[in-house]
Structure 1
Amino acid sequence: MPQALKVDLGDHAPCDPGFPARAIAHITADEEATAEAPLNLVPFADLKSFFKGSGRGQAPHILWDPFTGTFAQFFPATSRSKAVFDKDGGFRTNRSGKVVIQIEALFFPHCRVNGQVFVKLVDTPCKGWDVLNAWINSWGVPNSWPMGRPTSLSRNTCPAAKWKSQGGWYAHAHVPENDHVDPGSWPSFVSQPHEPTPVGPRFEPFPGTSFFRTGHRSPIIAGMHTRLVAEDCDRYTSDTGIDVWGPGDVRSYAAWQQKLGLEGSAADGVPGRFSWDRLGVPEV
């Protein structure tokens, strides 16, 4: 997936082209929160590290953050991943399809983000869903739910004949040999427009790393400042000179990079194209 951070775990294995292409939808469900006791969403970087480390035996193809539109990819689409239980000699749930693309949405019911509590995945901004939907569709996975689009945390196991014969999207709650009830809900498919879409908000294109030099003044930097504050990445010590690149911008932008799951030199506070495009600085 071109838009994803690549965290290739190796250990690739082929899928079974004798079955139709499919995708399997999950939520990370990494905390047990309630309406009375909501919990903060676990950082994207933590889940990425988990699947890279101790959770590699449960890793999906794609980890998707529906709040920022960030993705991490652990296996190529043509390999099986390991996100569902697969009984020996059974349905080969992780590989029974031309592709079997598994997506973990970073979400659990009653998670709290920037002070707001979200009960269902569809209540989130679902940022990046259009990109994800289009990419999976490009691998021949039809925009259909053979067992119905999930709307609640309930179990509805797919019959063997349907699993073997019908491609499309399945919830983890539909997969044979498994007992999970996630994802609970999932956004509607993105229709491909047949007419030009209306002009929406316009954003500043990435101006290049050399643009961000100490003392450089620009309304683009002021716009970036405003967006970083809105994304709860405010590490500024002053509200003056917001259009001049300085140490506060470096600290705040590094916080944004870390929020996207970037690490090390990729989170040094200097904007790159990946993080800039996801920040969405309005055109000035």
Structure 2
Amino acid sequence: MDTPGNPPRFTWHTTESPAGSSYFYSVAAYLMRVAAEPQVIYDPVSDLIGQFGPLTQSGRALRNDGSRRTNREGKVNIQVEVLARAASPWTNGFDPVDKPNFRKLIAVGRAHGVPDDWPAGKPVATASSYTARDRNVWQNEGGHYGHCQVPGNDHWDPGAIDITIVPGGQSTGGGSTPTQPPTSSTPARYQVTINGLTYGYGAVGDHVTKVGQALVSKGFGTYYQSGPGPTWSDADTRNYQTFQRSLGYTGDAADGVPGETSLTRLLGTPLPSKTTTAPTAAYEPYPGAAFFSPGRRSPIITAMGRRLVALGCSAYAKGPGEHWTNADRESYKRWQRKLGYTGNDANGIPGKTSWDKLRVPKQL
């Protein structure tokens, strides 16, 4: 990059093509053929994502601003071509909860230090409505930009996309930095009652485990070191906060304590209640495939391993233990094959049917 001391940023484009998996590879091939590829291409319909090169190196989708190479501006300039048309904003009807690759893309940008801001404001809705491309803002403020906001360029994509979905709040213009609510290092520790059940720090019950399992299955389990379990912890709060932010909530509305609307988005209907919550089961419910990932630690994994040993499917040299390891995966693969699964269905990652048949004892 030419100016690695300048702030990091995303630059959002649209391909001005139809969306959908059937167009994904042909559009990617076209961008390479005309030497105009960004670092990333994304299809909002199928959630397909592709990467042309390292995010820390230059894309080729922008024109220079005189002698200034806009492709090489900032610590990183992560350019994303979205399969869409600027006249029909791709964020209309787009739900990040159902798009794990999109969430990963945003998370990677944050890991590179890109703030959740739009320093030049919301991208314009029509080609005729944009004239100024503030060079000072572009060069000196990190965050998210549309192609229409880059000096030296004359395109108006990505159109009037929703800047709560592509995260951040619109600035007041002219390069001023929007005020952000303070972030507390201590997560929220109050409780709410929904359908007669409590949620939030210290709440206890099967419904708490159900929330944690749903968060893990949707890719929001980062903060769990073990579990999820029946007691609401700070990890539950932080994971739920990440889920709330994916829905577009900000400030106090994204403090990690459920509201009825977000809880319904997570669990569906009907929500658990004192009258509908079933008695504690004798066996562990399926925690979701994402639970079985490197670094996971949980007594559930130990209990699973003991069941695999008891059923003659052990690949353990020692153990089993609480950490998910290759030995756990190999042992579970033997269990899947014992049930008659083959190929990708016997890859060692538990599925719901095989898990239920294993009958892992409930862990307290």
The TM-score normalised by the length of structure 2 is 0.45
Q: CA deviation at 1:186?
A: 2.6
Distance (Å, rounded) in 2 between the aligned partners of 1:203 and 1:144: 35
Residues 1-284 of structure 1: matches in 2 within 5 Å?
14-30=1-17, 43-51=23-31, 53-55=32-34, 57-89=35-67, 91-108=68-85, 119-125=88-94, 127=99, 128-154=101-127, 155-187=130-162, 188=164, 189=167, 190=245, 193-195=254-256, 198=263, 200=266, 204-205=288-289
- Cα distance in 2 for partners of 1:66, 1:272 equals 30
CA contact (8 A) 2:40 2:80 kept: yes
What count of residue pairs does the alignment treat as equivalent? Answer: 196
Write the letter of the residue equivalent to 1:65: D
Unaligned runs of 5+ residues in structure 2 are: 168-244, 268-285, 293-328, 357-364
Change (3 A) 1:150 1:88: closer
Q: 1:212 to 1:177 in 2, by over 3 A?
A: farther
Q: Between the two proteins, what is the percent identity of the paired residues?
A: 26
CA deviations over 1:227-254 (Å, ceiling 9, x no partner): xxxxxxxxxxxxxxxxxx9xxxxxxxxx
CA 40–23 in structure 1, closer or farther in 2 if over 3 Å, else same? closer
Please state whether the residue corresponding to 2:91 is helix, strand or coil.
Answer: helix
**Larger Rg over CA atoms:** 2
Q: Residues 70 and 42 from structure 1, CA distance in 2 versus in 1: closer, same or farther, beyond 3 angstroms?
A: closer
Q: Are the aligned partners of 1:15 and 1:99 in contact in 2 as well (CA < 8 Å)?
A: no
Residue 145 of structure 1, CA deviation = 0.8
Where 1:19 maps in the other structure, the secondary structure is coil
- Alignment gaps of 5+ in structure 1: 1-13, 32-38, 111-118, 218-244, 246-268
Relative contact order (C-alpha < 8 Å, sep 6+): which is higher? Answer: 1
SS in 2 for 1:24: strand
Q: Residue type matched to 1:92 in 2?
A: R
Give me the TM-score of the superposition, normalised by structure 1: 0.56
Matched residue SS, 1:26: strand
* Further displaced range: 70-79 or 160-169: 160-169
In structure 1, what is the Cα distance between the partners aligned to 2:336 and 2:27? 30
Shift of 1:28: 0.8
Moved segments of 4+, more than 4 Å: 39-42, 190-193, 196-199, 201-204, 210-213, 269-273
Deviates further, 42-51 or 160-169: 42-51
Greater share of helix: 2
Measured in 2, the distance between the counterparts of 1:62 and 1:170 equals 15
Check whether the contact 2:65–2:153 (CA below 8 A) recurs between aligned residues. no
